[in-house]
Amino acid sequence: MAFSRNFGTEQSSATLRPNDRLTLGLIGMGVIFASLGLGEAVYRFAFRDFDGATDRLPIEMLFGLAFAWMTTKLARRIYLYRMETSARINFISVLRDDAKTVVSQLEERGFKEFLSHPLLLTLACIVRTTSSSVQPRSALRLLERAIDVLCLHWDEQKVIDRQRTTPLDGYDRERILKHIAYRARSPFVKRQRAEEITRKQLSLLGMDKVEPRDALIEIARFYGILVPAEDGYEFVHRTIHDFLAAKQWVESGEFARARSYEWNARTAYAACLLGDATDVLKQALEAHDGLPTATEIIGNYAGFDYPTIADALFKYFAEPRRVLQYERRLHSETDSKYSPRIIGLLASDFIRLANSDFLNFIVDYFCERNSKVADLLVAYAATELYSRWMKLEHQTYAKAFAAYKTEIFTFVVPGAKQAQLTIPRPGASK
């Protein structure tokens, strides 16, 4: 895995902390004075016939300084080895002791794809072990943070300095990766094409003397994201390729100028990174093949205008064969044995991937509309909020209470994690 190459490489003295350098310096000074005696012994052994020589002290000093230099060098290497070993053990210990928690969290957030690929799992673990803040709930944000840590902050946080063959830094390497990803339609890139793109970026960075192949090999060695393959280079996972391409697409300004799109993950990631995904998401919901893109945008918690997208969702599910089951029962129809309820199933449940704030808005926006699509959108939103242990906002609850004219109303969504629920009161526990 990419991060494993950090360990076992020599660290430059520039990366040692000031107090560490001071400690080694004091050791060196002590060794110099202690070595004067050794220098005299070596002198006497090597020059037995010149016991009364007047130039003895400079020669003794030479032997002493040489021995002090070797001793300090050895002490430094031992210190670095122990520090790197400790970092490696701590990293493995965190993963071992908390492995079940990490896997459980990834599954709960819908990151099963990260569990199926070694590099994606490594990236998730890097975020988990290098940040004390709340972990991201969207795959895109998790990947964004992982790439940022891996390319820009990993060496600094772990106090290591990997041996380089080029003057490139983390920002330069990420820039090259983004440009290659953006110009490649598939994860595999022919060698000539990849090196041409790299050569151009090196020229723009003022590094014309750096060989493109050396830069690409160093990127592969440091990150393991774009690796050599037969007759070319290849991104190890399509998700990483699409993310880096989308990032370059947005940063170049070309995505904001686009008026038509291919409905794929790259477009979805770009819309999420843009900040306002309203137009792209609306077009995706209107397109006959746009559902995968719409699902990615909603599932990655993109920013968009709630009323516009709520109306687009209503229009999408109002199309034929997108409501698979619908039934609304009242007390009189069930002899008061059951609470009033809505039972139904939509052709797709991607709405459940949305952020909790938008789900609350769906309940508020559609609870007063008397239609099967509106009822089912409310049912899906309320069911998902309940499964997350979330509560409706007070204003939304009051509005739903007035709309359904009862305090207890059950939503039944076959196959949902929580099949039935009562409209949650503000402040009430599950």
Burial 208-222 (b: 16+ CB within 10 A, else e): eebebeebbbbbbeb
- Per DSSP, the three-state class of 388 is coil
What is the reported pLDDT for 323? 95
pLDDT beyond 50 at 418? no
Q: Average pLDDT over the chain, rounded to whole?
A: 76
pLDDT beyond 90 at 303? yes
pLDDT beyond 70 at 378? yes
Q: Which residue has the tokens 């945008």?
A: 297
Mean pLDDT for 85-90 is: 58
Lowest mean pLDDT among 100-114, 141-155, 350-364: 100-114
What is the reported pLDDT for 124? 55
Q: Are 199 and 205 in contact (CB under 8 A)?
A: no
What is the reported pLDDT for 2? 37
Mean pLDDT for 273-298 is: 95
pLDDT beyond 50 at 6? no
What is the reported pLDDT for 233? 95
- Per DSSP, the three-state class of 4 is helix
What is the reported pLDDT for 275? 85
pLDDT beyond 80 at 68? no
What is the reported pLDDT for 354? 93
Strand-pairing partners, residue 325, are 345
What tokens does 12 get? 């430059």
pLDDT beyond 70 at 117? no
Rounded Cα–Cα distance for residues 99 and 114 (Å): 14
Higher pLDDT, residue 280 or 106: 280
What is the reported pLDDT for 132? 45
Question: Which of 394, 384, 390, 382 is closest to 430 using CA atoms?
Answer: 390
pLDDT beyond 80 at 268? yes
> Pairing mode, if any, of strands 232-235 and 226-229?
antiparallel
> Pairing mode, if any, of strands 410-412 and 341-346?
parallel
Q: pLDDT over 70 for what percent of the chain?
A: 60
Confidence of residue 70 (pLDDT cuts 50, 70, 90): confident
What is the reported pLDDT for 146? 72
Amino acid at 348: S
Higher pLDDT, residue 269 or 429: 269
pLDDT beyond 60 at 173? yes
pLDDT beyond 60 at 226? yes
What is the reported pLDDT for 156? 53
Q: Are 143 and 109 in contact (CB under 8 A)?
A: no
pLDDT beyond 60 at 157? no
Range ranked top by mean pLDDT from 65-74, 255-264, 411-420: 255-264
Mean pLDDT for 341-360 is: 92
Confidence of residue 397 (pLDDT cuts 50, 70, 90): confident
What is the reported pLDDT for 358? 96
What is the reported pLDDT for 359? 95
User: Residue 271: how many CB atoms within 10 A of its CB?
Assistant: 29
Q: Are 152 and 174 in contact (CB under 8 A)?
A: yes
Task: Give per-residue pLDDT as tens, 318-343.
Answer: 999 999 999 888 765 545 556 688 88
What tokens does 405 get? 């004219």
Q: Which residue has the tokens 């990293």?
A: 91
Q: pLDDT over 90 for what percent of the chain?
A: 39
Lowest mean pLDDT among 249-253, 292-296, 413-417: 413-417
